[in-house]
């Protein structure tokens, strides 16, 4: 479950340290632990902000972050939103 083919001919693949759902779970645990439900964050704040500096998802690649947030969105725990200067997420 930690390998994903990037093309149909299966000539290149992505090996993931954690699946997007696992990253989403870690992010959501941080949100709940810090009382940040009903808060909005930019993607930058989540992966590069001072508040997440000691979290495992700090520095996470943006494409993997988006996939993690999409998994949370499917669980109705978050909503990816468009902000003036990029994308953000609201947690529920």
Which tens digit of pLDDT belongs to each residue from 48-59? 999 999 999 999
- For residue 47, is it within any domain? yes
For residue 86, the enclosing domain spans 20-91
Number of domains in the chain: 1
- For residue 11, is it within any domain? no
The pLDDT score that the predictor gives to residue 86 is 86
Question: HEC states along the chain?
Answer: CCEEECCCCCCCEEECCCCHHHHHHHHHHHHHHCCCCCCEEEHHHHHHCHHHCCCCCCCCCHHHHHHHHHHHHHCCCEEEEEECCEEEEEEC
CATH number for the domain harbouring residue 86: 1.10.10.10
Give the pLDDT band (50/70/90) at residue 90: very high
- For residue 57, is it within any domain? yes
pLDDT tens-digit map of 37-50: 999 999 999 999 99
- For residue 4, is it within any domain? no
Characterise 90 by phi-psi region: left (phi > 0), alpha (psi -120 to 50), beta (else): beta
Half-sphere exposure for 40 (CA within 13 Å, toward CB): 7
Give the pLDDT band (50/70/90) at residue 65: very high
């Amino acid at each position: 479950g930690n390998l994903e083919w990037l093309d149909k001919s299966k000539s290149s693949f992505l090996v993931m340290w954690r699946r997007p759902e696992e990253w989403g779970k870690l992010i959501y645990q941080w949100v709940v632990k810090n009382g940040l439900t009903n808060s909005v964050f930019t993607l930058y704040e989540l992966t590069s902000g001072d508040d997440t500096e000691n979290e495992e998802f700090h520095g996470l690649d943006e494409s993997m972050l988006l996939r993690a947030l999409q998994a949370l969105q499917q669980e109705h725990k978050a909503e990816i939103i468009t902000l003036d200067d990029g994308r953000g997420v609201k947690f529920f």
